[in-house]
Chain A
Amino acid sequence: MTLQQRSTFRMIVIYLGCFLALFWALAPIYWVVVSSVSTRAELYARPYKVWFPSQPTLEHYVTIFTVGAEYRGGGYSPTAELMGLGLRNSFIISTFSAALVTIIATGAGYIYARMRFRGKQLTFYFLMLMMPLPVWVSIIALFFLMSQLELVDTLPGLISIFVTFLMPLSVWLMSTFIRDIPREVEDAALVDGCNRWQLLWNVIIPLARPGMIAVFLVALVSTWNNFLIPLIFTRTQASQPLTVVLTLFIGQYEVAWEDMSAAAVMTMLVPFLMALFFQRYLVRGLTLGAVKE
């Protein structure tokens, strides 16, 4: 092979690989999006599927938010309210949890990155010990604890669980981010007579912003995507987020796939957009800062 041929061959292999990779990663997502905007006749066409809908429609989205999922037999399941409330609950739970965790973890991250005090090691290990361990053992008894506190099936209950479970990772991330900030700036501020609160607010937070965004987004997406915790700690539509609502669409005998697809797209929309637009923050946060860009 000449050099020219070899380079052409290399490019063919690479772009073939890219095609396969993109097909594997995106085809399922493409299909659920297409399903959600197809007319029923085209969606259920067989044996030849309609890969590109000829009359795209938003009617399934309207259906799930107004009357509920429509089954092929013609009946409706009363899920309309569930969708609207689910969307609201998902938004409230994930934004509040993420905001709280980011604020608290920034303060704690600063403390562990910069300050010296008795019990620093001990409290740090206390926080970090549970990070690699599955929280499942805590969840079982936590359920009964939360029932006693009457926090089951409430938004504050869910938010406090998420904030706590996300805390170790977030504190760890923030402390590594803050450790990377040059120290001179702070020393100058301390000499000028700033107290710690002013220092945190005026110096650290502006400099740690990329880290805070990463922590916020990781917390937001992991809370939004979580299913097991709301499955256990919710009972009614008052607090069920979209991930739980989605499973309620599956009837015992029938599934309204077109409506279900629309609901699925609604459920994945937020994390999906975050992943498209803020990917470098998310990747950095989710790989524990191991991958820096």
Chain B
Amino acid sequence: MSRLRLNNDTAFILVILAPILLLVAALIYYPAVDTFRTSLTSRNLRINRPPEFVGLENYQRLLADDEFWEVTRRSLSVVAITLPLELFVAFSLALLLNENFRGRGVVRSLVILPWMVPPVVNGFLWGWLLNGEYGALNGLLYQFGLIGEYQSWLREPQYQLVWVAVVQTWTRFAFPTIILLAGLQGIAPDLYDSAKVDGAGVFQRLIFITIPQLLPSIAIALVLEFIASFQIFDVIWTLTAGGSAGGAINPFTKTLMIFNYELVFRDLRIGLGAALSYLILLMSLGVGFFFVWRLYNQGVKE
């Protein structure tokens, strides 16, 4: 009897797990290895020549290329503007939603909505808001007398990345808000009570209790948002890249992912693009771990 049961269980496990493991192996692991293998070759579909093994040449070529560093700098700029902005918005919102007031549930549900809108729509949406001729932002600012005439917000190359970061913040802020709100709700109320007895004001309580207690949540939010904004693609594609319909891609907001897409699927330099994809992976991993390690240690020590 027990022997029969065992066999039945084995069949059950096999029937369910085998297809999953096969799919993951075939569509995630095998291609990941294959991409790495390709990154060691000179594969280029524009050139009618069989790819040759070139070792780490593609990596060396990227690391010696000014455009690679330029693109990396741009990606880091997006991260450097997005993360503080997002953290500020999310932290303020989490503090607000942690208060008790009527209508809190409704406000919470509505504030989360931008997160559910397809990012590719957000790029378009904000492009329309910031439009120089008919944009709603111009209309609003003009109506309140804040600008004398309509501005082309997206025209100046040096501001394009800032707007990309703003739209990325709008797209993603709900997620860190929820994480931080859950963190706030996990702080023991006695901590605040005893601080009040000791005469700590609102800001002292914020700095000496709330923020240290919240560090693990902040670490999680920062890592996930780092990965999201470092690999930003959709928002840029519709906001400033201008690459649809086969048109040229705007160089001023060409970040790592856009550059990588261009290398592989436009220029067909597969080997070089494959190498870049592994460099992106390494950079995301390195920085992600650093963030967790640094902030989590801090939270534990204090």
CB closest residue in chain B, given A250:
B244
Tell whether, in the assembled complex, residue B257 and residue A271 are in contact, meaning their CB atoms are under 8 Å apart: no
Complex Cα distance A21/B285, Å?
Answer: 33
Tell whether, in the assembled complex, residue A290 and residue B16 are in contact, meaning their CB atoms are under 8 Å apart: no
Query: Does B60 belong to the interface (CB within 8 Å)?
Result: no
Most chain A CB within a 10 A radius of its CB, from B117, B133, B273, B277: B117
The B contact surface, by secondary structure, is: helix
Closest chain-B Cβ to A98's Cβ sits at a distance in Å of 15
Query: Does B93 belong to the interface (CB within 8 Å)?
Result: yes
Residues from chain B with Cβ under 8 Å of A17 in the complex: 92, 96
Are A14 and B21 also in contact (CB < 8 A) when A21-B107, A25-B111, A247-B244 are? no
Which one of B29, B142, B264 contacts A140 once the chains associate, using CB atoms below 8 Å? B264
Binds B, one of A52-60, A207-215, A273-281: A273-281
Tell whether, in the assembled complex, residue B111 and residue A22 are in contact, meaning their CB atoms are under 8 Å apart: yes
Residues from chain B with Cβ under 8 Å of A160 in the complex: 23, 27
CB closest residue in chain A, given B241:
A247
Q: Mark A241-256, 1 if CB is under 8 A from B, else 0.
A: 0010011101110000
A/B pair count, beta carbons within 8 Å: 254
Query: Does A108 belong to the interface (CB within 8 Å)?
Result: yes
Complex Cα distance A161/B26, Å?
Answer: 10
Query: Does B156 belong to the interface (CB within 8 Å)?
Result: no
Complex Cα distance A33/B123, Å?
Answer: 15
Are A130 and B92 also in contact (CB < 8 A) when A11-B101, A47-B139, A247-B244 are? no
Complex Cα distance A117/B10, Å?
Answer: 8
The A contact surface, by secondary structure, is: helix
User: Which residues of B118-159 are within 8 A (CB) of A?
Assistant: 118-122, 124-126, 128-129, 131, 133-134, 136, 138-140, 142-143, 149-150
Tell whether, in the assembled complex, residue B96 and residue A115 are in contact, meaning their CB atoms are under 8 Å apart: no
Are A25 and B16 also in contact (CB < 8 A) when A49-B140, A195-B8 are? no
Tell whether, in the assembled complex, residue A46 and residue B134 are in contact, meaning their CB atoms are under 8 Å apart: yes
Query: Does B20 belong to the interface (CB within 8 Å)?
Result: yes
Tell whether, in the assembled complex, residue A140 and residue B116 are in contact, meaning their CB atoms are under 8 Å apart: no
Are A136 and B231 also in contact (CB < 8 A) when A142-B27, A264-B121 are? yes
Tell whether, in the assembled complex, residue A126 and residue B21 are in contact, meaning their CB atoms are under 8 Å apart: yes
Tell whether, in the assembled complex, residue B179 and residue A287 are in contact, meaning their CB atoms are under 8 Å apart: yes
Query: Does B36 belong to the interface (CB within 8 Å)?
Result: yes
Which one of A11, A47, A251 contacts B142 once the chains associate, using CB atoms below 8 Å? A47
Residues from chain B with Cβ under 8 Å of A21 in the complex: 93, 96, 107, 111
Tell whether, in the assembled complex, residue B128 and residue A260 are in contact, meaning their CB atoms are under 8 Å apart: yes
Most chain A CB within a 10 A radius of its CB, from B115, B257, B260: B115
CB closest residue in chain A, given B134:
A44
Are A130 and B24 also in contact (CB < 8 A) when A47-B138, A140-B274 are? yes
User: Which residues of B12-40 are within 8 A (CB) of A?
Assistant: 12-13, 16-17, 19-21, 23-24, 27-36, 38
A-B contact pairs, 16 of them (CB 8 A): A17-B96, A18-B101, A21-B111, A25-B111, A46-B139, A47-B142, A108-B17, A133-B285, A134-B231, A134-B284, A138-B31, A160-B23, A168-B24, A257-B128, A261-B128, A291-B182
Instruction: Please give 12 more A-B residue pairs, beta carbons under 8 A apart, in addition to A25-B113, A104-B20, A268-B116.
Output: A18-B96, A32-B128, A108-B16, A135-B28, A137-B35, A140-B264, A140-B273, A141-B274, A164-B28, A228-B233, A252-B247, A272-B113
Interface residues of A (CB under 8 A from B): 10-11, 14-15, 17-18, 21-22, 24-26, 28-29, 31-32, 35, 43-44, 46-49, 104, 107-108, 111, 115, 117, 123, 126-127, 130, 132-145, 160-161, 163-165, 167-168, 171, 195-197, 221, 224-228, 231-232, 243, 246-248, 250-252, 257, 260-261, 264, 267-268, 271-272, 274-276, 279, 282-283, 286-287, 290-291
